[in-house]
């Protein structure tokens, strides 16, 4: 029995068009994340990894769409190929099956290193841009998740013993954000 071709698409921001990545590529099902590639903690990637079975092929536009870190890329490809799942990168014209040649493994490492390098350059440019904006006095940082009144209400509710998880859900924020507000105290 021939396996399915499962597509995985990742875009970094909500305004990017995910459709173009696997345009004109035949796949049976597609999982799409709108998230940074800095790590592998992405909901649709996790669903795709749980979905694929032995004999399937995971089809990805390019290596940097799967991972921006060489260790993550190699680990994902190794985990999948050990399960009998092939990994195919359209842009690089490379497919990994587990029975790969030394040249294929070299290409995975080199291309993965370029993706990691590109991620480092992006972060460096971002830091430089923030520093310049701060010098000009125009950097405001991220918009606050809650108004001052909401933050006061949040602290009051937690102080009265309401569950932190329930309060975070009520305000539409993560528990980590809730803890940050509790730490600030004003």
- What stretches of the chain show up as alpha helix (H) in DSSP? 43-51, 63-66, 70-82, 102-136, 148-159, 164-171, 175-184
Helix, strand, or coil (residue 32): strand
| Look-up of token digits 């014209």 | 93
Neighbours of 111 (CB within 10 A): 19
Give Cα separations from 97 to 15, 136, 146, 171 (angstroms). Answer: 34, 52, 48, 46
Active-site hit among 12, 36, 62, 88: 12
Decide if 156 contacts 183 (C-beta within 8 A): no
- Encoding tokens for residue 126? 């971002």
| Look-up of token digits 């800095």 | 38
12 is catalytic: yes
Sign of CA dihedral 53, 59, 65, 67: positive
What positions carry a catalytic annotation? 12
């Amino acid at each position: 029995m021939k396996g399915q071709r499962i597509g995985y698409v990742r875009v970094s921001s909500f305004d990017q068009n995910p459709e173009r990545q696997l345009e004109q590529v035949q796949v049976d099902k597609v999982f799409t994340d709108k998230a940074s590639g800095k790590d592998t903690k992405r909901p649709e990637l996790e669903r795709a990894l749980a979905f694929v079975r032995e004999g399937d092929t995971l089809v990805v536009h390019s290596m940097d769409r799967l991972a921006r870190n060489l260790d993550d890329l190699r680990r994902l490809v190794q985990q999948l190929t050990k399960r009998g799942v092939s990994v195919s990168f359209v842009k690089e014209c490379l497919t990994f099956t587990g029975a790969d040649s030394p040249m294929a493994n070299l290409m995975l490492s080199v291309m993965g290193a370029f993706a990691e390098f590109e991620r480092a350059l992006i972060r460096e440019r971002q830091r430089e841009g923030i520093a310049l904006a701060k010098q000009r006095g125009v950097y405001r940082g991220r918009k606050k998740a809650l108004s001052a009144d909401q933050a006061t209400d949040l602290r009051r509710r937690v102080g009265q013993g309401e569950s932190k998880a329930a309060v975070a859900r009520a305000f539409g924020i993560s528990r980590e954000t809730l803890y940050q507000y509790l730490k600030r105290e004003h």
